[in-house]
Structure formats: structure tokens, C-alpha cells
């Protein structure tokens, strides 16, 4: 695992590891035969050419579930796509575009957070202060609990409050405000008050070298907080449509943006990236994004590929790792070929992007699992009490007799994400392939 291992103990440990399952042997060898260390986020041959990215105008305008919102309140919605334009955007530009539309159309909307008036560390608010004024797009002091509470107050006054928490790892100081105040506001006032205008945006998931406090995926911690919604987009179109929906949803929403997807492949410096390390992006996650105002549905998963043999469920960054795993399953590279039984290569896997974590789309997932009889859930957060645990429990209850294999979870290990261990902790395409093979062969 680590190049410098040479002691006898390390050799024994390695041998012990190598004695484990076939697929794991594959994973080891695949890694150890590489000359260069894998890039941040692992090898993702398919991401720039991901077939889930809508890179033409026509494909973009036909995004499933899209609802156009180009008219003022009350006017009929135009369903026609003719005459609509798209522009090439990556995720951070799409996020910015959504906020720009929200600020333009809604006079009560304000955007605030640490350094957001300068564009924020990931550039998602670039130029918004200049465009809409510093009284609407402003920096806050460094105080996450304060930011959340302040946003709750604003929202309680009927305003649209769009807060940024600089990293999902720093949402914990705001945890109390979000779970005890925002989530319960409506309930505890017997419906007299609500903070539906609150949206908290925050960059999430790993980038390969974030270490303890720049790698976490805290969506699971909020899952039991009824009253909140949690949304995680996978691409520019999804980011824009889902963020506009989140901003307008009459409930407080935590919108988590996978930061490794923000920009095209490369490593970026400060104010174009993160506060304490350069942002490394894994691929050209670029789409033609409709420039009009549109929304995508919250609470609804999207089926990306249909299949009958196994359901692969994920959200955010791992969508692309799953895509890679599926292409390896169908066409294993020579180094993997002998570990992927030929009989499994033609398996039809149904890949679902969950998109909304709370409330999650039980119906779509169940329908799929009842058809396929097998479920693998992939997420970057740790396994114990992660989102996958809830999904597995629900699925085994509702589809027990339809299951042909135990529900399998591919997740981070139950350890903190130490800097040097990150690439081993976060699941990658090989781990996913491994679980698919074992679940299919169960």
C-alpha cells in the first residue's frame, strides 16, 4: 500500500491482505503496477467524456424533470424548448448563475458568508456583489453558528437567505442552529413561523488531499433532522436546477456541492479554490446549461442507466466513479479481466443518482430494487450510521423477499480522513467494481 514498506511486519501485513478476496487482489495489483501515483480522486478515464454530461444544447434542454420558470409569478409556464439558449458552464459557474437569477428575480434575496463578496474561495459568488450591490451580497465574520442563526432570522422575516458555509467540514459549529432552530421552526411554532427561505450552500466531499477538515461528507448527520432538506447535485445543469429549486423550496435546504467537480481538470490557487490547499478538480465536468430560469425536482432521484440485474445508488462525486466501474465491468482492462467473470460482464446495472438525501426518493429506489433484486449503495461518508445504513434498512424491510443478495455499501472506512490515507479511505471505481462483482455473484 505504501511504497516504503520493507519491514518483515509490513510484509506479513501485506501478505495477509493479499490473501483476501479475489477482487481485492485485483485492486491491489492494479494500484501497485502504476508507475505514477494515482491523481487526486483516482483514475477516472471516463469523466471528461461521461455520458451523463449533457454537452449539446438539445440534450441540455431535454434534461429529465426540467421545469422552466422564465415567467413572472402566476404566468403560464412555457413548455417549449425552441428558442431557448444554453451556455457552456462548469459547476461553479452554474451555481453562480442560479444565485444570479435568484437575486435578479427576488428582491428579498441576499447572499452571505465568509469572503463571498470576493467570490468565495471557490468563486461561486464571483461578481455577484458588483452586480447586485454589497448590501445584498456580503461578507460575514468568521462565525458559522452566527451565519446560520442570522440566516434563520432573515428567513423568519420572509426573506430569501442564501448562506454559504465555506466547507461542509465547518458546518458543525452551525449544527445546533440548523438542527434545533431551522429544522424545528415551523413545528415548534405550530405552523405560525417558518424559515423556508433559508438555503445553506456548502462545498462537500473529498478532493484527494484535503485531510481531516477538508474532506468530509456530513449529509448523514442531518438525515434525522426532519424539517430540513438535503440536496447534492452531480453536474452543472443539476447544480443550477436543483439550487434554484432549493432556494425556492418552502423548507430550509442544505445544498452540498461536491467541490472536486467545481471546475475543469487542474489545480487551482486561492480565491479560485480553497482556503487551505489548492483545489484539484478531476475532470471536465462541463455541460451546456440552459441560460433561462429552470428548476429540477427536489425529492426525486434520477435513473441514469436502466438495468435489470443490480441497482447502483449514489450521489455527488461517486456518480462518475460508478460510471467508470460500470465500463470496467463490461470491458475489463487486461489487468482486471481474469477477475471479472465473463458471465457477469453483460450484467445490466441500473445506476441511480439519489440527488436529494432528505427526503430521499424511496419509491424510485424500491421500484428499481424490486426489479433487480440487488442493491449497492456508494457514498463518501463513513459507513456506520451513514446514509447507506438508512437506505439499506428501508430497502430490506420493503423489498425483503425480492432481494437476491444483501444490500451492500461502498463507503469510506470508519476512520478520520488522515491526509496521507485519504486516497485509501474514499471509495473509488475499483472498490465499486469489486462490490458489484461480489453482489452479482452472491
Partner 1 sequence: MLVHFHESRVLPCRVALLGVTVWSVSKARLLPSRHRPGACARDATWQRADALAALQEAVAVGLEHSITPEDLVITAYRCHPFAVMRGGTVTGVLSELLGRQDGMSHGKGGSMHIFTPNFFGGNGIVGAQVPVGAGLAFALKYKGKAASAFALYGDGASNQGQVFESFNMAKLWDLPIVFVCENNKYGMGTSAERSSANTEYFTRGDKIPGIQANGMDIVATSQAVKYAREWTIAGKGPLLLEFVTYRYGGHSMSDPGTTYRTREEVQRMRSTQDPIRGLQRNLEEWGVATEAELKAIDKEAKATVDKSVEEAKASAFPKEVDLWTDIYYKGTAPPFMRGREREEVHHY
Q: Is 379 a catalytic residue?
A: no
Query: How many positions of this chain bind partner 1 (CB under 8 A)?
Result: 69
Q: Which stretch binds ligand TPP (CB under 6 A): 30-38, 132-140, 165-173, 217-225?
A: 165-173
Q: Compute the least distance from the CB of residue 70 to partner 1, in Å.
A: 35
Q: Is 43 a catalytic residue?
A: no
Residues 15-44 that bind partner 1 (CB under 8 A): 17, 20-21, 24, 36-40
Q: Which stretch binds partner 1 (CB under 8 A): 89-97, 151-159, 394-402, 411-419?
A: 411-419
Using rule CB under 8 A, residue 306 touches partner 1: no
34 binds, among ligand TPP, partner 1, none (CB under 5 to 8 A by kind): none
Candidates 70, 106, 115, 394; binder of partner 1 (CB under 8 A) is 115
Q: Compute the least distance from the CB of residue 418 to ligand TPP, in Å.
A: 17
Sheet architecture: strand order including 137-139 = 137-139, 110-113, 161-164, 198-204, 253-258, 229-231, 356-358
End-to-end CA distance of the chain: 28
Using rule CB under 6 A, residue 173 touches ligand TPP: yes
Using rule CB under 8 A, residue 142 touches partner 1: yes
Q: Which stretch binds partner 1 (CB under 8 A): 222-230, 344-352, 362-370, 412-420?
A: 412-420
User: Which residue, among 319, 356, 367, 326, has the nearest Cα to 344 in the 3D structure?
Assistant: 326
Candidates 170, 221, 222, 315; binder of partner 1 (CB under 8 A) is 170
Q: Compute the least distance from the CB of residue 57 to partner 1, in Å.
A: 32
Residues 60-119 that bind ligand TPP (CB under 6 A): 114
Question: Catalytic one among 114, 144, 181, 323?
Answer: 144
Using rule CB under 6 A, residue 164 touches ligand TPP: no
Which cell is 418 given? 488522515
Helix axes 387-398, 362-372, angle to 10 degrees: 60
104 binds, among ligand TPP, partner 1, none (CB under 5 to 8 A by kind): none
Amino acid at each position: 500500500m505504501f511504497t516504503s514498506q520493507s519491514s518483515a511486519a509490513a510484509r506479513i501485513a501485506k501478505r495477509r491482505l493479499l490473501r483476501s478476496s479475489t477482487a481485492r487482489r485485483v485492486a491491489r495489483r492494479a494500484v501497485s503496477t502504476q508507475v505514477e501515483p494515482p491523481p487526486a480522486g483516482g483514475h477516472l478515464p471516463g469523466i471528461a467524456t461521461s455520458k451523463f454530461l449533457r454537452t449539446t444544447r438539445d440534450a441540455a434542454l431535454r434534461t429529465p424533470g426540467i421545469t422552466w420558470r422564465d415567467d413572472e409569478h402566476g404566468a403560464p409556464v412555457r413548455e417549449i424548448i425552441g428558442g431557448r439558449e444554453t451556455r457552456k458552464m462548469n459547476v461553479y459557474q452554474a451555481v453562480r448563475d442560479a444565485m444570479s437569477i435568484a437575486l435578479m428575480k427576488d428582491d428579498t434575496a441576499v447572499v452571505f458568508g465568509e469572503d463571498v463578496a470576493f467570490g468565495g474561495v471557490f468563486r461561486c459568488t464571483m461578481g455577484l456583489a458588483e452586480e447586485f450591490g454589497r448590501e445584498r451580497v456580503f461578507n460575514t465574520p468568521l462565525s458559522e453558528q452566527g451565519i446560520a442563526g442570522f440566516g434563520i432570522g432573515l428567513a423568519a422575516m420572509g426573506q430569501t437567505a442564501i448562506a454559504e458555509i465555506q466547507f461542509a467540514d465547518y458546518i458543525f459549529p452551525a449544527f445546533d442552529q440548523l438542527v434545533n432552530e431551522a429544522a424545528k421552526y415551523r413545528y415548534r411554532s405550530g405552523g405560525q413561523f417558518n424559515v423556508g427561505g433559508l438555503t445553506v450552500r456548502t462545498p462537500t466531499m473529498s478532493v484527494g488531499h484535503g485531510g481531516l477538515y477538508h474532506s468530509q461528507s456530513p449529509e448523514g448527520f442531518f438525515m434525522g433532522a426532519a424539517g430540513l432538506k438535503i440536496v447534492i447535485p452531480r453536474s452543472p445543469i443539476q447544480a443550477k436546477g436543483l439550487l434554484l429549486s432549493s432556494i425556492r423550496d418552502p423548507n430550509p435546504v442544505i445544498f452540498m456541492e461536491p467541490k472536486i467537480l467545481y471546475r475543469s481538470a487542474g489545480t487551482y490557487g486561492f480565491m479560485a479554490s480553497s482556503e487551505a490547499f489548492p483545489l484539484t478538480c478531476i475532470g471536465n465536468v462541463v455541460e451546456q446549461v440552459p441560460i433561462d430560469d429552470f428548476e429540477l425536482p427536489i425529492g426525486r432521484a434520477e435513473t441514469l442507466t436502466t438495468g435489470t440485474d443490480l441497482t447502483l445508488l449514489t450521489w455527488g462525486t461517486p456518480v462518475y466513479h460508478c460510471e467508470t466501474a460500470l465500463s470496467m465491468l463490461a470491458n475489463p482492462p487486461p489487468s482486471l479481466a481474469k477477475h471479472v467473470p465473463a458471465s457477469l460482464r453483460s450484467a445490466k446495472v441500473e445506476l441511480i443518482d439519489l440527488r436529494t438525501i432528505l427526503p430521499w426518493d424511496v419509491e424510485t429506489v424500491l421500484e428499481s430494487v424490486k426489479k433487480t433484486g440487488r442493491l449497492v449503495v456508494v457514498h463518501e461518508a463513513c459507513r456506520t450510521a451513514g446514509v447507506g445504513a438508512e437506505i439499506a434498512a428501508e430497502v430490506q424491510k420493503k423489498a425483503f423477499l425480492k432481494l437476491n443478495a444483501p444490500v451492500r455499501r461502498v463507503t469510506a472506512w470508519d476512520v478520520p480522513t488522515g491526509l496521507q490515507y485519504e486516497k485509501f479511505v474514499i471509495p473509488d471505481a475499483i472498490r465499486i467494481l469489486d462490490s458489484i462483482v461480489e453482489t452479482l455473484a452472491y
